[in-house]
Each structure stands twice: as C-alpha cells, then as structure tokens.
A = this chain, B = another copy of it.
C-alpha cells in the first residue's frame, strides 16, 4: 500500500475517528421548526441551570479550559477554524459526532438529541432535535466534505419509520458518512430485535456505518457516585454490538457496519475470546454451543473488521500493544477534538509518546487507513493535505524500516489454537 510511509520523511494520513461538532445550544433555534420553540425554551433553561451547577462545582477548571482554548473551540461549528485546528494537529480528516462541549454540555443538540438521545421521552422532540443537528451538520460538512465524516443523529428507538426517512435524507448530504443511534434503548425495543431490520437495511444500502458513542448510562441508578458511572459507561456503549451480532443482524445484512466510539478498545480481546469459546465447544461450553447453532455463520471474532469496528479515540499504550488481537483493521485512532479528555491541541506529542516503537504499517492503519476504509474517505483527496500537515515516522521518532511481524499478527488471537475453536456449521 502506498499510503504506508516508505521513508522516514513520508507523511501519515491521519484520520481522527472521533471528533465532535455542534453549535452553542441557543444557536440551534433557527434549525428547529418553530412549533418546537416553546419546548426549546424549557430545554435552554435546563441547560443554563446545568452550566451554573457545573461552574459552582469546578469553576477554575472550566474557565481555564474555555479561556485557554477560546479560538480553537470555535472549530466545533466554524469549518474554517476546524480545518486550521486539524492542520495544526496533523489531522487530515475527522469524524464528527454531536455534543462538542463535554465540559458543561452547552453544545448539545436540542432536547439532548445527541449522546443522551435514549433518555428523551417524546419521540417528536427526539426527531426534532436530531433533525436540527443534522441540518447544521450537513452545512458543516458541505465545507470541505472530503475532510469530514459527519455522523448524523437518528433516534431509531423512538420511531423506525421516521428513522428510515431521516437516513434517506442524510444519505444524500455530502460529507455525512454514518449515523449514531441511542446508546441505550431503555424501555424501548432492544437492538437484537428484527423490528429494526428496515434501519439496518437502509444503512447497509447507503453505506452508512451505525454508531454508538459513550456517554449515556442509567445515571438514575448511580446517586452521586461518579465512580459507578466511570466503571460502566463503556459497557453501555459497547452493549449494542453483541445484540446486533447474536441477534443475527450481520447475517441478514452482511454489509452493515457497526462502530463503537470513545468506549476504548481494551475489552475487545477478552470479548472475542469468550465469544469464540461459546461457539467452539469444549467441555464447559457444550451445553451452550448447542443453543447457538444456526444463529451466526462465522466465529464471533471474525465479524470484527468486517462488521464491527472500534473508534478507540486516544488509545492507551496497552491497547496499542494489544493491536493484533484487537485487529489493526478494527481499531481507529481519534483525537476527540475539541473535548478536553482528548489529545487536541497536543496530538503530535501524544503520538510521539505512544507510537515511537510501533511499526510503520501498523501506525498507518491505526491512525488513518482503517478509518478511510470504514468511512469511505478518498485517499486521493487526503494525500495532498497529509503531505502538507501529516506527521512522519521521523517526527514520531520511529524506525522507518520497522514493519509488523506476520507471525505475531497471525497468532495474536491465542485462543483459536489453545481451544482449537472452529467456525460453526
């Protein structure tokens, strides 16, 4: 592949698989139909109260972040500033989720239709908020669509017919490259149910990967115990993956892609191991394997890299070390711009700290080439940008001739040999 640097000075095409884009809450008003304005005023009051609370709790941290990054934060909604910030961070293109303000939530789509859409009671408001954001997002992506991967909001839990309509609309917008569904279905229908087939069919047909993104969790169960939230928020985001897999969605729609974003990736190896083991028999799983016959046609781990992908954002060193088990064709880097827990505006320093000893071909996959495949970015468009602003192996302190060891890669999913697991059938 000619997108793997051949010399120390060639540049990587970096595609951030996790970024956020959105207007300041009140600026969504003109994107909302006027009949929703009364409800919107209530929502704005609630948002403002939430910000006051956050400021009372943590004023110095919040103001420090906002004042220290005032200009760059505007890239959430200003495409020219966004391109400038991406350039400075060495990023050729990025994927745009909602909720650009992760600190006080003042860039959430109306009614919480972004990362917390599952909690919206009224389907009317869920779709109104989602569509307002999608209208903004389409404008945002119309500017340099080759650098944008807009992820539209579609609250499929709330109305499947309307969801399919919304998918039809967003599919026609340049630079929209996926949809995000509510992380939690709550009291609505679980994602293993075939009732969602029209949604999966529309997404598979349009080539729009379906996403969950971490954030939502059953907060009403947590009291004021933030540690509980931290301990399980990733699980709630990943949960739809196995509901789709074991519900047979990838059998019925082999072109359907599901991506779980900003929910780390460390969990994937053990998950694949245990899932493959259920299918593969062995004494302790004999009673289980019988129940799975006929449900799926491949080993569960074989759906990773064809149907299941991971937008791991700023991966940890441990996740980079586990890259062959997880799959360099599965997991994608992301800066999480413009969230404070991400690497922006110090992405280069983070890459230097964590990728210095990673082979060049693996680095190219993790930082951009896998995302290009998943989202259909055109590398012909991105190469000239990367040549101008992308990091090089020299800049990352890498040995430019280091390549991955095929044997290490091939044997990484150790349980296949240890358990002798075989595909079903």
Q: Verify A246–B266 contact, CB threshold 8 A.
A: no
The docked-state distance in angstroms from the alpha carbon of A192 to that of B300 is 34
When distances are taken between beta carbons in the complex, the residues of chain B under 8 Å from A247 are: 223, 225, 228
Chain B residues with Cβ under 8 A from A193's Cβ?
Answer: 223
Instruction: Count chain B CB atoms within 10 A of each CB in A239, A247, A287 and give the residue with the most.
Output: A287
The residue in A192, A225, A270, A292 that gathers the most chain B C-beta atoms within 10 A of its C-beta is A225
Q: Tell me, in angstroms, the Cα distance from A271 to B228 when the chains sit together.
A: 12
Is A267 a contact partner of B266 (Cβ separation < 8 A)? Answer: no
Q: How far is the CA of A239 from the CA of B217 in the complex (A)?
A: 14
Q: Assess whether A226 is in contact with B287, with CB atoms less than 8 Å apart.
A: no
Interface residues of A (CB under 8 A from B): 58, 61, 103, 190, 192-193, 221-223, 225-228, 230-232, 235, 239, 242-243, 245-248, 264, 266-267, 270-271, 273-275, 278, 283-288, 290-292, 295-296, 300, 314, 317-318, 340-342, 414-415, 418
Query: In the complex, what distance in Å separates the CA atom of A124 from the CA atom of B412?
Result: 52
Interface contact A192-B228, CB-CB below 8 Å: yes
Closest 4 CB pairs of A and B: A227-B246, A226-B291, A231-B242, A190-B221
- Contact yes or no, B292 A226, CB < 8 A: yes
Residues of B within 8 A of A273 (CB): 266, 318
Give the contacting residue for A275; candidates B231, B264, B270, B278; CB below 8 A.
Answer: B231
* Copies of this chain in its oligomeric complex: 2
A367 to chain B, nearest CB (A): 18
| Inter-chain contact B225/A284, CB cutoff 8 Å | no
In the complex the two chains form, is A227's CB within 8 Å of B292's CB? yes
A50 → chain B closest CB, angstroms: 15
Could you tell me the distance between the alpha carbons of A231 and B283 in the complex, rounded to whole angstroms? 18
A270-B270, A317-B418 known; A287+B103 contact, CB < 8 A: yes
13 more A-B residue pairs beyond the given contacts A226-B292, A227-B246, A284-B314, with a C-beta to C-beta distance below 8 A: A61-B287, A190-B223, A227-B275, A227-B278, A227-B292, A228-B242, A228-B243, A230-B278, A230-B288, A231-B275, A283-B341, A284-B341, A288-B341
Docked CA distance A58–B290 (Å):
9
Bound CA span A264–B256, Å: 32
Chain B residues with Cβ below 8 Å from A300 are: 227
- Residues of B within 8 Å of A230, CB to CB, are 246, 274-275, 278, 288, 292
Interchain CA distance A227-B246 in the complex, whole Å: 5
Closest to A227 in B: B246
In the assembled complex, the CB of A47 is this many whole angstroms from the nearest CB of chain B, namely 19
- How near does chain B come to A174, taking the closest CB pair, in angstroms? 33
Q: Are B415 and A318 in contact (CB under 8 A)?
A: yes
Chain B residues lying within 8 Å of A286, measured Cβ to Cβ, are 61, 340-341
The contact sample of 27 A-B pairs, CB cut-off 8 A, is: A58-B290, A103-B287, A192-B222, A192-B228, A193-B223, A225-B243, A225-B246, A226-B246, A227-B275, A227-B278, A227-B292, A227-B296, A228-B242, A228-B246, A230-B278, A231-B275, A235-B235, A266-B274, A267-B270, A284-B314, A284-B342, A285-B341, A286-B340, A286-B341, A287-B341, A288-B341, A318-B414
